[in-house]
Chain A
Amino acid sequence: MWSRKSAMLGSLAVAMYLLGLTLRNSQLVTIAVVIFVFLTWAALFGGHADVAASGRRADEWSGEEGAALGSVVAMRKLSSARMFEDGELSVTLRMQNTSSLPKILEVRDRVPEVMRIKEGANYILMELGPRRETFIEYTVECPLRGFYSLGPVTVRIQDPFGLFHKEKELHVYNDFLVFPKMEDLKETFVKSRVPKIFTGAVNIRQPGPGSEFYSLREYFEGDSFRSINWSAYARSGKLMVNERERDAVSDIIIIVDSRSVAETGPVSRNSLVYSTRAAASLAKYFLGRRDSVGVIVYGDEVVSVDRDTGKKQLYVILTKLAGAVARGNIPLQVVVNRILPHINKGSPIIFLSNLEDDPTIVNALRDFRARDFDVTVLTPSSLEFEFDAKRIDRTGYEVMKTERDVLIGELRGLGVNIMDWEPDMLLSTALAGARGF
């Protein structure tokens, strides 16, 4: 393929040649001829002008690659196919020259735009000897969750003057998954009022078998002798027993707003990023205490992960969260109408949204509250993200902030546990704030 330089030189030569013939000026013709010869030599013996000569496009062409680039083979190995945000991925690219001739190659391994090269380089200029192979190692940092793909490997050969080059994409791809990073939570203050039959590690604010103190009551026949509270007996003169709070598993529903408005703000600091991280942390915490966790992600469609327990469920949830893309504008009311018949009454519901651009939010959350669901809303503020990034001015910020405060106040009035989640606030702090601690 012609480079810009060769195209300019070629044009110059043609212009000089025609001008020289027109003006009968042998000097101009001579200069043009020398430039032609220079270009022809580079094209002919650089071995890279074949595409231009054949009149075929590079992507339609396979024959020449058999001679020039067909003998170059690439293979790639990743240190891991799954990782968490801010994790590092070591890539080993193995380049082989199966030909008997040495080749000077430019190799670029295409890395997703959001990734940062931490060590090494994905762009290499090298001389690959005959029947030799070399390993190129580099490390990329993966700051954002998602499904990613490394590749293709672009190989280029060009003549020393950069007049003609030939490129080939070696379609070697490696997919990997970046999960949202998780925060370790000690306490979420979210408890179910509706127990399930299996005993678990969660207090559900009902008396029953458990470890946490619930209340005192009078002794009845059949009560365990060990549960008598002797101090209370001494004070009141009546036999009193300690009642304990019942431990049981709960159904936890996490709703993540991934509408297009959720991505308002910088790429690495927006509502969707915070919501997915929070959902992952909460899922890990609840699954860790043997709760059953279901996740609903809505944007242009409603994607749900059915309630389940265990490590496998965590992996399924993380995968869904990794693939959440800010798209569409489904109102929350649609989501609520769809899921309401399928969730147990009274289950804790955690809703993660920036509460923007959806007039149905109040009604939808009212529907939950009317059915006695324990609703917690964590709302990462897009306003703060945008204001921090200096994308909105002070007046605009004040206006919208006030509107947002009014909305939050209204939701709080419905009995929703809500917290305006500021960018620098830890998830545990935001949760505690939402639950009134």
Chain B
Amino acid sequence: MVVSKPSSDTSHLYDGKTVRSSAPSRKKAAGQLGIGSEIPSDAIPNVEIPSFIESLLGGPLVPKMKFLPPDKMVQNLQVAVYGVLVGLALLTYMISPPEGTMWYILFGSLAFANIMQLSIIAGATVTGFMGTYKRDARFSLLSNTLFILAILRFASSKTSLSNDLFGFQDNPFMLAILVVVYSVLLIMYFELSNGVIRYSMLDTSIRTNEVYVMNPKKIVGKYHRSLVINPIIATLLAWFVLSANTILPFIVGIFSNDTKVRLQESVELTSVYGVALGTLFVFIVVGILFGLNLPTHLQRFRESRAE
């Protein structure tokens, strides 16, 4: 078989043809190009189309920026994430017994549900470690999802423990504290793992001169303070919200002692609906505060006080 090699002489292309004297038309020329004249790949502009997940999250999961090695701040945050992750994994295991999980409902086997629950918690922990160590948001997001999946239970109204090491099962107060601590740990894990990515990006931007940070100690200091203060505040406020079944009877007791007793003995108030009622009350107040534009007034008050 004879393969004709392309020749550099292109004069044959014009044999018997009328050559226009006007300026060449790029479009027309493109249309006339024969076989083997496909558009080079680098001539096609790169169009970034976000995937479905990325569009849901509003941006790319993996930042285009390649992180520089972590600085001390990021390393400290990573260590904090590891600590929180271990605590969270243990607490998740404690407060989410296999009974009531979707695996138990679907398959009816306690052993299988137990294995599944352990696997999910282990998976969440491992991906959490990987996400934090590699500073890859995809693993962190997967870990967050697995933790949420682990805590989804379709069973009882009351909290039950899979492993009652400290004998909390019979103490509703300690159980409530355990759940609140778990919740705070969960949200702190979300925040810290996200903080690792955020501060890695910031640190890389600073070191590549993309961003200039004036007085970084104060900015980092504020973040550190918030890492301590916000969980404490969240715990106290959440505790307040969840204590509706004791606060409401106390308030009602000012007006009527009988109603107070009835409320204290009410099954509904001590159940999840009591919590919902407490939440409703508290967030109605919060809504009113926002409606009155409290943040602005607060800001103005702080400004005027500083004057």
Interface residues of B in 148-204 (CB under 8 A from A): 148, 151-159, 176, 179-180, 182-184, 186-187, 190-191, 194-195, 198, 202
Contact A44–B151 (Cβ < 8 Å)? no
* A33 CB-CB contact with B under 8 Å: yes
A-B contact count (CB 8 A): 255
A12 to B190, CA, bound (A): 12
Interface with A: B62-70, B76-84, B217-225, B255-263, which one?
B217-225
Partner of B187, one of A25, A34, A125: A34
Partner of B276, one of A29, A35, A64, A160: A29
Contact B272–A26 (Cβ < 8 Å)? yes
* B90 CB-CB contact with A under 8 Å: no
Interface residues of A in 202-250 (CB under 8 A from B): none
Q: How far is the CB of A300 from chain B (nearest CB, A)?
A: 18
Partner of A402, one of B14, B186, B191: B14
Contact B40–A391 (Cβ < 8 Å)? yes
* Given A120-B212, A125-B214, A160-B222, A356 contacting B176 (CB threshold 8 A): no
Interface with A: B113-121, B124-132, B246-254, B288-296, which one?
B288-296
A26 to B242, CA, bound (A): 10
* A316 CB-CB contact with B under 8 Å: no
* B298 CB-CB contact with A under 8 Å: yes
Name the residue among A17, A134, A359, A403 with the largest chain B CB count within 10 angstroms. A403
A34 to B235, CA, bound (A): 7
Residue numbers in A under 8 Å from B58 (CB-CB): 4
Contact B33–A399 (Cβ < 8 Å)? yes
Contact B176–A30 (Cβ < 8 Å)? yes
Closest to B297 in A: A67
Contact A390–B23 (Cβ < 8 Å)? no
* Given A121-B212, A355-B23, A34 contacting B33 (CB threshold 8 A): no
Partner of A43, one of B57, B183, B230, B295: B295
* Given A53-B291, A390-B40, A356 contacting B187 (CB threshold 8 A): no
Contact B219–A33 (Cβ < 8 Å)? no
Q: How far is the CB of A437 from chain B (nearest CB, A)?
A: 26
* A198 CB-CB contact with B under 8 Å: no
Q: How far is the CB of B294 from chain A (nearest CB, A)?
A: 7
Contact A33–B242 (Cβ < 8 Å)? yes
Contact B23–A50 (Cβ < 8 Å)? no
Contact A68–B299 (Cβ < 8 Å)? yes
* A393 CB-CB contact with B under 8 Å: yes
* Given A37-B237, A41-B234, A359 contacting B23 (CB threshold 8 A): yes
Interface residues of A in 31-58 (CB under 8 A from B): 31, 33-38, 40-50, 53-54
A50 to B292, CA, bound (A): 10
Count, chain A residues at interface, CB 8 A: 85
* Given A4-B59, A47-B299, A399-B32, A356 contacting B212 (CB threshold 8 A): no
A250 to B92, CA, bound (A): 90
Contact B43–A391 (Cβ < 8 Å)? yes
A264 to B195, CA, bound (A): 45
* Given A71-B303, A410-B21, A160 contacting B226 (CB threshold 8 A): yes
Name the residue among B21, B242, B283 with the largest chain A CB count within 10 angstroms. B21
A25 to B300, CA, bound (A): 42
Partner of A406, one of B13, B19, B179, B182: B19
Residue numbers in B under 8 Å from A99 (CB-CB): 303, 306
* Given A104-B222, A123-B212, A356 contacting B303 (CB threshold 8 A): no
Contact B212–A393 (Cβ < 8 Å)? no
Name the residue among A23, A358, A362 with the largest chain B CB count within 10 angstroms. A23
Residue numbers in B under 8 Å from A40 (CB-CB): 237, 283, 286
Q: How far is the CB of B25 from chain A (nearest CB, A)?
A: 6
Interface residues of B in 1-55 (CB under 8 A from A): 10, 13-14, 19-26, 29-30, 32-34, 36-40, 42-43
Contact A35–B183 (Cβ < 8 Å)? yes
Q: How far is the CB of A22 from chain B (nearest CB, A)?
A: 10
Contact B299–A126 (Cβ < 8 Å)? no
* A5 CB-CB contact with B under 8 Å: yes
* Contact mask for chain A residues 48-90; partner B; CB cutoff 8 A; 1 contact, 0 none: 1110011000000001100110010000000000000000000
Closest to B233 in A: A41
A100 to B305, CA, bound (A): 9
* Given A17-B279, A396-B30, A400-B29, A101 contacting B153 (CB threshold 8 A): no
* Given A161-B226, A361-B23, A395-B33, A34 contacting B180 (CB threshold 8 A): yes
Contact B37–A396 (Cβ < 8 Å)? yes
Contact A30–B238 (Cβ < 8 Å)? yes
Residue numbers in A under 8 Å from B19 (CB-CB): 402-403, 406
A130 to B198, CA, bound (A): 27
Contact B151–A31 (Cβ < 8 Å)? yes
Name the residue among A9, A358, A362, A406 with the largest chain B CB count within 10 angstroms. A406
* B142 CB-CB contact with A under 8 Å: no
Contact A407–B179 (Cβ < 8 Å)? no
Contact B152–A19 (Cβ < 8 Å)? yes
Closest to B184 in A: A34
* A21 CB-CB contact with B under 8 Å: yes
* Given A4-B58, A36-B279, A44 contacting B26 (CB threshold 8 A): no
Contact A124–B157 (Cβ < 8 Å)? no
20 pairs across A/B with beta carbons < 8 Å? Answer: A4-B57, A17-B276, A24-B272, A26-B275, A27-B159, A30-B176, A31-B186, A36-B279, A41-B230, A41-B233, A44-B289, A47-B299, A50-B295, A101-B306, A125-B212, A362-B21, A395-B10, A399-B10, A402-B19, A407-B23
Q: Which residues of B contact A (CB under 8 A)?
A: 10, 13-14, 19-26, 29-30, 32-34, 36-40, 42-43, 57-59, 95-96, 148, 151-159, 176, 179-180, 182-184, 186-187, 190-191, 194-195, 198, 202, 205, 209-216, 218-219, 222-223, 225-227, 230, 233-235, 237-238, 241-242, 271-273, 275-276, 279, 283, 286, 289-291, 293-296, 298-300, 302-303, 306-307
Q: Which residues of A contact B (CB under 8 A)?
A: 4-5, 8-9, 12, 17, 19-21, 23-31, 33-38, 40-50, 53-54, 63-64, 67-68, 71, 99-101, 104, 120-121, 123-127, 130, 134, 136, 159-162, 261, 264, 354-359, 361-362, 390-393, 395-396, 398-400, 402-404, 406-407, 410
